[in-house]
Every structure is written in structure tokens, then in C-alpha cells.
Amino acid sequence: MKHVHPRPVHRSRALPGPPRALGEAAWHLPGFALPWVEGLYPELLAVRAQAPLRQLSTPGGGRMSVGTTSCGALGWVSDARGYRYTPYDPENGQPWPAMPALFAELAREAASAAGFEGFAPDACLINHYRPGAGMGLHQDRDERDLRAPIVSVSLGIAAVFLRGGHQRSDKPQRIALAHGDVVVWGGVDRLRFHGVLPLAPATHPRLGARRINLTFRQARA
């Protein structure tokens, strides 16, 4: 998947700021998702009704601080057996909810704006953070096709995204993310460690005391 310089969003709306390069193939797109957000809310509720949030266990026996669900052809799960993608929700044995067309449109447009044409997400991991919840440094490496980028959409209260190096011990860069911000990374930056600092107490006027993160992946080759 060839990477080129970012281009403007198709939807006509003034955004909070220009794209910000985080690396050779990583971009922060401030407010990029804002033209989509009103349409995202009912779709999120529909996905949650079919596949409710759950706190996944880690292979080491711990429990994640975020509530998680998925939509798309594949969903991401974690338990004592490890991290993996599955076409079925292990909670009910049913296929994951289909990825809403609006989700896929936003993911494609964001990837394209960051220079990654042809992104075709087949999985969307949905994480719900409450104040105090965070995500430790990790790599997204369970996908079969590591040529495709990761597209991460932030909704709700602010968060601090940690963008590390290719070793867990590398000191991470801190990036403040607001409602509607998108981060896209791929290419040479695809396997960088990343995470989220524990959220500070806050309230969003529409979503309350929570942050919702949509992470789009192309899990199958």
C-alpha cells in the first residue's frame, strides 16, 4: 500500500487544524471525524445492542480497564488463549454486527487523507474509556496484513495518546487528542508501540464522562 502526502477531507467543513506529521508514515488529523460524528452515535448504539461491551481478560490473567466490543467481519478478542480475531462473538456465538457503512466511509477517508489509498477495513474495535481507564503500550500485530494502516478515531473526553518506538522501552511521544481527532499510522510506523494514559476526570457535552475509541484494521490479507 503506497504512502503519499495527506490530502484534504472530501466533506466540506472547517476543521480545527491541519494534518500533523507524527512520523514518516503517521499522522494526527485534528477534528477529521467531526463531519461524521452525529451519524456515528446511533450506529454505535445499534452495535452495542447486538454485541454489548465487556471487559476482556488478558492472557496473563488481568482484566482490561476499558469496555470493549467489535463490529465488522472480524472482531478482536483477548482471553487466556491469547489475542486474536474471530468471526464470532464468543459471548453469544453469533457473528459480530456488520460494520456500518458510515464507519467504513470515515475509515477509508481518513486513511486516504493520510496517504494510504485502498484501505478496506474488515474489523473495528470499539473501546469505551471512563476516567481513570487507560491502555498500556502495545503493538497492533495480530492482523495478517501488516501493510495496511491503523485508523484510530477519538470521540468524547480528551485523551493523551502515547506513540512509542519499535521497542517497548523507547520513551513515547505524548499527543493530546480531542473529540473528533483521528490518528493514522502505517508503513515504517505500523508496528510502533502505542497506548493511552489513564483519562483525567472530565465530561463531554454529548457523551458524558467517557471516551469512545474506534480502531479500524484490515485484519485479513
65-79 tens-digit pLDDT: 999 999 999 999 999
Structure confidence at residue 53 as a pLDDT band (50, 70, 90): very high
Residue 143: phi and psi, rounded to 5, are -85, 145
Residue 131 within a domain: yes
Q: Which residue has the cell 493523551?
A: 160
The CATH number linked to 91 is 2.60.120.590
106-136 tens-digit pLDDT: 999 999 999 999 999 999 999 999 999 999 9
For 70, the grid coordinates are: 467489535
Global pTM value: 0.92
Domain carrying residue 59: 20-217
Residue 1 within a domain: no
Residue 6 within a domain: no
* Measured distance CA(49)–CA(210) in Å, rounded: 18
173, β-bridge pairs: 163
Dihedral, CA atoms, 204, 46, 99, 77, nearest 10 degrees? Answer: 80
For 80, the grid coordinates are: 487466556
User: How deeply is 171 buried, as exposed, middle or buried, from its count of CB atoms within 10 A (0-12, 13-18, 19+)?
Assistant: exposed
Structure confidence at residue 14 as a pLDDT band (50, 70, 90): low
Q: How many domains does the chain have?
A: 1
